[in-house]
Structure 1
Amino acid sequence: MTISKKWLVTALVLPLAFGATNVMAKGGEKGNKGGHGCDVEMSKQAFKKLDLTDAQKAELKTIRQDEKASKMNNGSQKREQMQAYRQKERDLVLAADFNEQQAQSLAQEMVAQRTERQVEKLRTQHRMMSVLTAEQKQKLTEMQDKRMQKCQQKMQKKMEKKQANNG
């Protein structure tokens, strides 16, 4: 295979690999929607089981609305930034020579952006948890632990089934 064909194959396969990795990170084809996957986020359904006061419900609603407004305001900016990252990735892959320094710089930018989003998510979760009483926090933690345990068991069964089919 000539070098130009190798680059062409790389240019075609790499975006597919990134896409597949993204899908797998989100829990397969179903993603994190509808209770699928091992997501133990603080959902509305979990909070409904905590016997919240009207004041707590109002405060949590305000926090969710603030988060939603923030996402709506930053959504187009994030999409544009992701498109720019994809273009930079494509440019790196299609370049005649691989530039390690540019690749490192791009990877660091992407990690910094992901870190910023994670910190914002944790800030919102902290705000939500600060609304709860100690007993409610304990109950929520127990529900999350139970869900995680159930999910791990489900994942173990899937892995065993997959190994049995391959072996």
Structure 2
Amino acid sequence: MDLKDHIREIPDFPKPGILFYDISTLLAHADAWQVTMGRMAKAARQHQPDVIAGIESRGFLVAAPLALKLGCGFIMVRKQGKLPGKTIRHTYALEYGEDTVEIQDNAIEPGQRVILVDDLLATGGTFAASVELLRKVGADVTSAACIIELEFLKGRDKLDIPVHALVSYDQ
């Protein structure tokens, strides 16, 4: 099955000149979603994860069912101020300013094998910041996985771990 057949392209969203790759049509198609999760699980199994970490917010849609399928834990990597209780944070530079990602304190035990998941890899900034955050608490981040990679933005180059993408676009 070609998963691209189930990903809708929306021009000029969220602003003019941007081509948005919408996974909601993939999620709505039961067979395509099953195939997606099967392929993600196959890629993830080789890294023997203890925990799947999903990046806010569409990454949760992929990471939670993947963790369930693999029989491992799931944690959320969120923007600052969205998690209850004590958190561990990492602030990183953006083109114009900075942003912060957080996980809950004690969400990861030192040495746990973690796969970082999102729906899409673009410039790689949030992925790289999330890897740094997870490492800060002692995680062994073994790989990253996504449904879509925008290869032309070279986000993979910011990561020092294997990256598994189910589909890629070069423009």
Q: TM-score range by the shorter chain?
A: under 0.3
- Between the two structures, name the one with larger relative contact order (CA 8 Å, sep ≥ 6): 1
TM-score by length of 2: 0.26
Could you say which structure has the larger radius of gyration?
Answer: 1
**Which has more helix, going by share of residues?**
1
**Which has more strand, going by share of residues?**
2
